[in-house]
Amino acid sequence: VLHVDLDAFYVGVEQRRNPALVGKPVAVGGGVVLSASYEARSFGVRSAMSLRKARELCPKLIVVSGEFADYSTASDEVFEVCGKFTPLIEQMSIDEAFLDVSGAHTLFGTTAQIATALRAAVLAETRLVVSIGAARTKFLAKVASRVAKPDGLIVVEPDRETVFLHGLTVDYLWGVGPVTQSKLAELGIFTVADLAGTPEEVLARRLGRGGAAHLHALAWNRDPRRVTPRRRARSVGAQSAFGGDCTDETTFRRVLANLADRVGRRLRRKHRAARTLTLRIRYSDLRAITRSRTLRSATSSTSAIYAVALDLLHRTWSEGAEGIGLLGITASNIEYSPHVQLELDIGDGDDAELLRAGTHSAALHDALDHQVDELREKFGSDAVGFASALLQGRRDSPVPVSLSELMEADRPQRNGDSSRDTPPMAEDPPDS
DNA sequence: TCTGGGGTCCTAGGACCC
DNA sequence: TCTGGGGTCCTAGGACCC
């Protein structure tokens, strides 16, 4: 298994675009550091650090704001190169993936030769640098790539696994963060060797059954997970931090409508629907809570998501209560939903905001009227009844527009057919 | 060290069912 | 009447990862 990990990925993409940035302390981010060049890291700049703090540590830091779409494209380029070596690629995030190259030896040679060729190919074709860790298990490959960084390659041969692993500190293990690390320290466990020598029952008392088994397995490099090319998302979420403390219900409604819209669209695009909706609130004092609701049937409807989220908000917050700094909506319990969705495009700009707020500009009104006419021609007048209603201001809630949602909402009232409330769910298609 | 956004997985308690 | 055993589902919170 190879673990392929891009070095300072976002920064690398920016340097590729603008070579003047090469060799300089660079950070990509806005508000917080998302990615820092190794020059910046030598000053102590780390990702997730506030930019203010980063500038204190490194006054000459060059900050680039960056476009997410560029990174997404660059990521595709890199993993396309990987695809020339093996089809068994499991992408873990935008900048890392596991590759099963067990079938590639005849074509490309030893593991070290494969990894070396891959690093060279990625550099030649994308001008981006990847580090690679190689081992028999995913877990150890990942540890190895981390040790190899930056611009490095480490192949852990089977007979060296234990030596390699046991020399590391516990924070190299997957799933050991600050909390677990300090719990282990209280037990006198600092290295992976310490961990491997501790009976599982002792760990279990401190970390729980599951955590203990997990860590003990990793300490002995037991990791049976295969490289599996595509895993379906188990949740879809969106959140928005508006800083400081807001107590204005109108703002909350607008933010929730926006979040519901983002979540709903993404679900619909993937032909998915979710049964559980979770509202996340972070108060001004950074205390965070979640409130969730599981529906009788799954939905991908923006207006339904919005309605549930607003209701959940009202359960713990009312006008005049404490300030809120962040709201998020997560949709989980996801299933396949084959509905054909029609959406009216109102864009993401000021017009969309106006529409959500219920104040339509004349130009927006005309543009929507035009779209509605087109839809009416295509799908008949029934299909667009709701849109006209919205344009005429008959809907008072600031809900973003999605044609099918209100079609569904309309139908039972028109013909009294309530069986539409719970559409039958098809099985997941075998390969889509 | 208090600051973004997108995720996964686990635990524990409680309601409810047979 | 308040005592067994096995299970599912939902909710809330937390740790962790990129």
Element (H, E) at A115: helix A111-126
> Residue A356 has what pLDDT?
52
Q: Which nucleotide is closest to A240, CA to C1'? A: B5
pLDDT surpasses 90 at A113:
yes
The mean pLDDT value for A309-323 works out to 86
> Residue A351 has what pLDDT?
54
Counting residues of chain A whose pLDDT is more than 70, the rounded percentage is 78
CA separation for the pair A188, A195 (Å, rounded): 9
Evaluated on CA atoms A369, A374, A377, A383, the torsion sign reads negative
pLDDT surpasses 60 at A429:
no
Residues at the strand B interface (CB under 7 A)? A 31-32, 34, 47-50, 53, 93, 208-211, 233-241, 243, 262, 266, 286, 325-326, 328, 330, 332
Q: What is the DSSP string of A330-351?
A: EEEEEEE-----------SSHH
Q: Which nucleotide is closest to A9, CA to C1'? A: C18
Hey, which residues does A397 pair with through a beta bridge? none
pLDDT surpasses 70 at A177:
yes
The mean pLDDT value for A343-361 works out to 52
Q: Which residues, 6 or more positions from A146, have their beta carbon under 8 angstroms from its beta carbon? A: A5, A133, A172
Per-residue flag: A210 CB under 7 A of strand C: no
Nearest CA to A292 out of A256, A332, A259 is that of A332
Nearest CA to A45 out of A64, A26, A31 is that of A26
> Residue A353 has what pLDDT?
55
Q: What is the DSSP letter of A383?
A: G
Hey, which residues does A274 pair with through a beta bridge? A299, A334
Q: Which single residue has its CA nearest the C1' atom of nucleotide B2?
A: A286
Least trusted range by pLDDT, from A3-12, A71-80, A88-97, A295-304 = A295-304
Distance of CA A390 to CAs A22, A27, A372, A394, Å? Answer: 52, 45, 11, 6
CA separation for the pair A47, A64 (Å, rounded): 14
> Residue A77 has what pLDDT?
93
- Cβ < 7 Å from strand C, A residues 247-286: 275-276
Q: Do A356 and A260 touch, CB atoms closer than 8 A?
A: no
Half-sphere exposure of A334 toward its Cβ, with a 13 Å CA cutoff? 19
Largest CA distance in chain A: 74
Q: A96 an active-site residue? A: yes
CA separation for the pair A87, A89 (Å, rounded): 6
> Residue A418 has what pLDDT?
34
CA separation for the pair A206, A215 (Å, rounded): 12
Per-residue flag: A289 CB under 7 A of strand C: yes
Q: Which single residue has its CA nearest the C1' atom of nucleotide C17?
A: A175
Q: Which nucleotide is closest to A291, CA to C1'? A: C12
Q: Which of A14, A39, A90, A96 is catalytic?
A: A96
Least trusted range by pLDDT, from A70-84, A172-186, A209-223, A356-370 = A356-370
The mean pLDDT value for A342-366 works out to 54
The mean pLDDT value for A118-133 works out to 96
Reported confidence tier of residue A232, pLDDT bands at 50, 70, 90? confident
Q: Do A422 and A335 touch, CB atoms closer than 8 A?
A: no
CA separation for the pair A311, A327 (Å, rounded): 13
Reported confidence tier of residue A135, pLDDT bands at 50, 70, 90? very high
CA separation for the pair A240, A118 (Å, rounded): 38
Please report, rounded to whole angstroms, the spatial distance between the CA atom of protein residue A114 and the C1' atom of nucleotide B12.
47
Determine phi and psi for A228, rounding to 5 degrees: -115, 115
DSSP helix/strand/coil, A149: coil
Please report, rounded to whole angstroms, the spatial distance between the CA atom of protein residue A200 and the C1' atom of nucleotide C5.
28
Half-sphere exposure of A364 toward its Cβ, with a 13 Å CA cutoff? 20
Q: Which residues, 6 or more positions from A11, have their beta carbon under 8 angstroms from its beta carbon? A: A21, A26, A27, A28, A35, A36, A37, A64
Separation of CA A169 from chain center: 28
**pTM for this model (two decimals):** 0.76
CA separation for the pair A134, A155 (Å, rounded): 5
Q: Do A4 and A132 touch, CB atoms closer than 8 A?
A: yes
Interstrand relation of A89-93 and A62-64 (parallel, antiparallel or unpaired): unpaired
> Residue A137 has what pLDDT?
93
Q: Which two tokens stand for residue A370?
A: 């035009």
Segment of A189-193, A197-201, A258-262, A293-297 carrying the highest mean pLDDT: A189-193
Q: Which nucleotide is closest to A275, CA to C1'? A: C10
A23-48 confidence digits (pLDDT tens): 999 999 878 899 999 999 999 998 88
> Residue A230 has what pLDDT?
75
Question: H helices within A270-402, ranges in order?
Answer: 302-316, 350-357, 362-379, 385-391
Hey, which residues does A237 pair with through a beta bridge? A330
> Residue A363 has what pLDDT?
61
Q: Which two tokens stand for residue A431?
A: 């390969």
Q: Which single residue has its CA nearest the C1' atom of nucleotide B9?
A: A175
A379-406 confidence digits (pLDDT tens): 555 444 444 444 444 444 333 444 444 4
> Residue A409 has what pLDDT?
39
Residue type, A23: G
A252-300 confidence digits (pLDDT tens): 988 898 898 889 888 888 888 899 999 999 998 888 999 999 998 888 8
Per-residue flag: A333 CB under 7 A of strand C: yes
Nearest CA to A400 out of A299, A262, A276 is that of A262
> Residue A354 has what pLDDT?
52
Q: Do A332 and A280 touch, CB atoms closer than 8 A?
A: no
Task: Work out the mean pLDDT of chain A and round it to a whole number.
Answer: 81
